Structure 1
Amino acid sequence: SKSFSKHFGKYGAITDSVIMKDKHTKMPRGFGFVTFSDPSVIDKVLEDEHNIDGRTVEVKRTVPREEMSSKDGPKTRKIFVGGLPSTLTEDDLRDHFSSYGNVVEHQIMVDHSTGRSRGFGFVTFESEDSVERVISEGRMRDLGGKQRFLWYFL
């Protein structure tokens, strides 16, 4: 939306921005991505509180896979999983990712008014090594019979 780009545009030039939408209803799914031409503005973006169209917005840094497979490895135990089928349960999510290591927390985000899955969630592992194993297999997963994207957070 215009207000989304306008809000983040005040921090610096944006090379790409997208609000993820449900492919059937075309309604926003409650999250999006912004790419800044100057990555140094991200620290300022992360420090601030964000309110867009009257809604508080949580901002996190996503890290492209290429940058995460450095010899230092990821410094995170938590991953973001997007594009989940509405039929996928939290148990399914945990079971899938437990093959990479001990899952200490897992959550599928739901719409508060309808109780339906918003199509994304988070998985936190006991060990950073588990995230490294997930990354080593690339970004796509077969969850609930459909290919899904993963993004990683530091």
Structure 2
Amino acid sequence: MRIYVGNLPYSVTDDDLRTIFSEFGELAAAEVIKDKFSGQSKGFGFVDMPSNSDADAAIKALNESDMKGRKLTVNEARPRAERPRGGGGGRY
């Protein structure tokens, strides 16, 4: 199951996410999403857990928990909504 983790402190790394979620079971991946130009964290990430029961336990335990003064949002990731690509339709 793919898990969305939001409202992360900007100092959190992939390894930090791995450490937190590994307490609940095996992880396939853990990634903090970063701005492709600056490399700065965007404040959210994703964790992939092969076992749905482990993922459910992690979501229940970590949602709204405190991490470095920020309340995390943890839930099952939903597919990204299709957005139209910019085609220069703005004003000049």
Q: TM-score range by the shorter chain?
A: 0.7 to 0.9
Greater relative contact order, per chain length (Cα 8 Å cut-off, separation 6+): 2
Q: Deviations over 1:87-120 (max 9, x none)?
A: 1111001000101111111111100110100011
2:63 counterpart letter in structure 1: R
Of structures 1 and 2, the larger Rg is shown by: 1
> What SS is found at the alignment partner of 1:122?
strand
Q: Deviations over 1:33-92 (max 9, x none)?
A: xxxxxxxxxxxxxxxxxxxxxxxxxxxxxxxxxxxxxxxxxxxx1100001111111100
Q: Which residue of the partner structure matches residue 147 of structure 1?
A: 71
Using the alignment, how far apart are the partners of 1:118 and 1:138 within structure 2?
19
Structure 1's consecutive aligned runs of 4 or more residues displaced over 3 angstroms after TM superposition are none
Aligned CA distance change for structure 1 residues 83 and 146 (closer, same or farther; 3 Å):
same
Using the alignment, how far apart are the partners of 2:60 and 2:39 within structure 1?
34
- Bigger share in strand: 1
- The 8 Å contact of residues 90 and 107 in structure 1, kept in 2 or not, is answered as yes
Runs (5+) with no aligned partner, structure 1: 1-76
CA-atom RMSD in angstroms: 1.6
- The 8 Å contact of residues 104 and 124 in structure 1, kept in 2 or not, is answered as yes
Q: Which residue of the partner structure matches residue 110 of structure 1?
A: 34
- Bigger share in helix: 1
Within-5 A mapping of 1:26-41: none
TM-score by length of 2: 0.74
Runs (5+) with no aligned partner, structure 2: 79-92
- Offset of residue 147 of structure 1: 2.0
Q: Which residue of the partner structure matches residue 14 of structure 2?
A: 90
- The 8 Å contact of residues 100 and 134 in structure 1, kept in 2 or not, is answered as yes
Identity of aligned residues (%): 32
- The 8 Å contact of residues 7 and 70 in structure 2, kept in 1 or not, is answered as no
- The 8 Å contact of residues 59 and 75 in structure 2, kept in 1 or not, is answered as no
